[in-house]
Amino acid sequence: MNIKPDKNTLLPMLFFIITLIYLEMVVHLYTYNSFDSKIVYPILFAIPMGILFTILSGIFNRYGNTIIMWVLTSLSCLIYGLQLVYFSVFKVYFSFQTLGMVNDAILEFGEDVNNAIQSNIIPISLVFLPLLGLYFLLKEVFLCEKRKSSYQCYLLIGALCFHLIALLLLPIYGKKDYTPYDLYYHSRVPELSGQQLGVITLTRHDISGLIREDDEVILVDSDVLISIDEQDTEPTPTVTIKPQPTHKPEPIKQDNPKEEPTNIPTEIPTPIPDRSPNIMNIDFEELAKKEDNQTIKTLHNYFASVAPTNKNEYTGMFKGYNLILITAEGFSPYAVHKDVTPTLYKLTNEGFVFNNFYTALWQTSTSDGEYAALTSLIPVGTRSMYNSRNKLLPYTLGHQFNLLGVESKAYHNHSYTYYERDETHPNLGYIFTGKGNGLVLDSDVWPASDLEMIEHTVDEYINEEPFHIYYLTVSGHMNYTFIGNSMSFKNRDLVKDLPYSSDVRAYLACQIELDRALSELIKRLDEAGIAEKTVIALSADHYPYGWEKEKLDELAGHEVDSDFEIFRNHFILWNPGMEDSIIIDEPASSLDILPTLSNLFGLTYDSRLVMGRDILSDSEPLVILSNRSFITDKVMYNSATGEAINLTDEELHPDYVSNINAIIKNKFTVSSSIIKMDYYRYVFPNYPDDFLIDK
């Protein structure tokens, strides 16, 4: 009988520990295709959790403990299986903070998830294998009797000791940015935490964030930072002008031209561009002195220290013009073909041409992609757009144009309630119309036609100059097969002779619908005689992540680098009245769209209060990816490996990389706090009067 308590304790403990270690190894292997030395941390954190499960399975009688063992094992297998499938589809980890979107996700991504399950049937089977083992162990080995309190205490002490050992070993790789130590205590980066610390720790941090929201703002001490703009010589944007194949606008003819004086100079001197800071009349230091809320005071002090971007020769270039802003679903640079998508080819090679533009993949895919471009705030955690639905967002283009007396409108050819856009987009300043609240298309298919969306909406605004319109397209939505995408099927004959596999041709076919939509839009603008007074700006929400990377490699014609190149994309900024194309070689990203357009349209904004930069300004570029990797004009930094790739021969300050990392950490923290605290209302308590006074 003396062996009975040992058997009742030791065997369940070994089962839970081995099961959790096994699950960590399976998911890690199938997610990253390899192991490195940091796999030790997922293993170490699995041990105390396995002991904790053992404690929970010894509290009740045999029947109750058996149920708990089944529940804990099933829940573990389910979470690991969920992360494996979710990562396979979305290329990010699942967060329990997205539970409110489950119904919408099932409706929109059900087929994609089903395909992911089928393609990952082997690893999924391996993930649920412990349930089979538990069945036989419960039948033949486990006693599952109530455990003595003394043994429970021993187990608790053991769990605490193993957890402490795991914590003590975290500094093995140092305490620098994005090491296991930094990820555990400071930088909660899901992509890196899942890889370096394991699913158990990722899940613990995720649930703790769901239960407890910390409003405290902790920023890196600015005293140790070297401003990007102060590290070296004053930067100048890399801008090239190339002739553009477009006609020069005809001069306006006057009925009664006045006689021109003969004594005027033959050459008009070029005006000196205004290089003053692009700011509003905001005294952050004074606001901080008067503020009692410590979090708001910290934010005021932060923005007081931020260097603004300067106005430039492009400031107000499109003042008074119409703006059509488009977020293109699943768009990539490899969708642009001179013969297959001629309109996209034209737009990406004329106007402003950004040769080094990046679109990050954030946690909530399309919604976060919209959020970054429309607010110039970093999507932190999950559902940033939804969390901002009742917060003041004064710098969105919808609100900015509304202040000019322009009625901003937005359209989406999918359900108007998906991602709660019926709540979020009016808060961005738009009269929002989608399927279900006014937009009726010719065909009820999935995904819907971008061309039909243009055809059914353009008459609502084309005679209302000036106007600002926002479109969110859907024709390019996964999955990319002729069966799973109705637009691919619709345009299948146009790609049948292309030298690609079926899935690659299907992707190009659905992007043809976007190309046709743009062609129709430009044609209607031309017919109305307002094309040259209209700017079209288009960016992607994300790259086509729901695709196997091999297909992207095939379309690109080479193996695409999965750390940086995979996020490279186009930002179309086009106006047919431009005589020359303006080529920008410096790196830029979706966060830079809002300040760049605000400057071009001469809108009132404060460049210190957004996370992006005016691409055309003289401030140094900074591209931030979701896993905190970054690109400047000097360095490409990989947060997962800690590797910094120099892009120039210039000798950099020894703290250059750590300085940029500190700036990025602060931008993440501040972006989150702006929404949590509704910070803009503290800066503009009398909005919109504050803006009208500043004009």
- Please report whether residue 320 resides in a domain: yes
- Please report whether residue 225 resides in a domain: no
- Give me the CATH number covering residue 529: 3.40.720.10
- Using pLDDT thresholds of 50, 70 and 90, give the confidence band for residue 617: very high
Report d(CA 648, CA 219) in Å as an integer: 30
Please tell me which residue, 102 or 24, carries the higher pLDDT value: 24
Same domain, 547 and 682: yes
Mean pLDDT, the chain, rounded, equals 90
Same domain, 660 and 519: yes
The pLDDT value recorded for residue 234 is: 42
**Residues 387-428 pLDDT 10s:** 999 999 999 999 999 999 999 999 999 999 999 999 999 999
- Using pLDDT thresholds of 50, 70 and 90, give the confidence band for residue 110: low
- Using pLDDT thresholds of 50, 70 and 90, give the confidence band for residue 316: very high
Same domain, 197 and 342: no
Same domain, 237 and 98: no
Same domain, 462 and 580: yes
- Using pLDDT thresholds of 50, 70 and 90, give the confidence band for residue 692: confident
The pLDDT value recorded for residue 691 is: 81
pLDDT over 50 at 252, yes or no? no
Same domain, 193 and 320: no
pLDDT over 80 at 193, yes or no? yes
Q: How many CB atoms lie within 10 A of CB 107?
A: 11
- Please report whether residue 101 resides in a domain: yes
Lowest mean pLDDT among 187-191, 195-199, 298-302: 187-191
Structure tokens at 555: 């379309």
- pTM, two decimal places: 0.90
pLDDT over 70 at 148, yes or no? yes
Report d(CA 565, CA 334) in Å as an integer: 12
**Residues 553-593 pLDDT 10s:** 999 999 999 999 999 999 999 999 999 999 999 999 999 99
Report d(CA 112, CA 90) in Å as an integer: 10
Torsion of CA 102, 103, 105, 111, to 10 degrees: 120
Same domain, 241 and 132: no
- Using pLDDT thresholds of 50, 70 and 90, give the confidence band for residue 229: very low
The pLDDT value recorded for residue 103 is: 64
Same domain, 168 and 21: yes
- Please report whether residue 556 resides in a domain: yes
**Residues 430-464 pLDDT 10s:** 999 999 999 999 999 999 999 999 999 999 999 99
Structurally, the chain folds into a number of domains equal to: 2
Same domain, 396 and 502: yes
Enter the DSSP assignment of 382: S
The residues pairing with 564 across neighbouring beta strands, listed in sequence order, are none
pLDDT over 50 at 265, yes or no? no
The pLDDT value recorded for residue 693 is: 64
Q: Is the peptide bond before 447 cis (omega within 30 degrees of 0)?
A: yes
Same domain, 188 and 238: no
Structure tokens at 250: 């005809």
- Using pLDDT thresholds of 50, 70 and 90, give the confidence band for residue 221: low
Task: Kindly tell me the burial class for residue 463, based on how many C-beta atoms sit within 10 Å of its own C-beta (0-12, 13-18, 19 or more).
Answer: exposed
- Please report whether residue 686 resides in a domain: yes
Domain that holds residue 87: 3-211
The answer to whether 105 and 364 are in contact (CB under 8 A) is no
Same domain, 197 and 240: no
- β-pairing, 623-624 vs 580-584, is unpaired
Same domain, 168 and 238: no
- Please report whether residue 219 resides in a domain: no
Contacts of 404 (CB under 8 A, 6+ apart): 466, 603
- Please report whether residue 362 resides in a domain: yes
pLDDT over 90 at 213, yes or no? no
Please tell me which residue, 612 or 546, carries the higher pLDDT value: 612
Place of tokens 């062609």: 519
The residues pairing with 646 across neighbouring beta strands, listed in sequence order, are 635
Q: Which alpha helices (DSSP H) does 170-256 contain, by range?
A: 180-185, 190-196, 199-211
- Please report whether residue 109 resides in a domain: yes
pLDDT over 90 at 243, yes or no? no
The pLDDT value recorded for residue 245 is: 43
The pLDDT value recorded for residue 270 is: 59
Report d(CA 165, CA 40) in Å as an integer: 12
Q: Which runs of E-coded beta strand occur in 29-166?
A: none
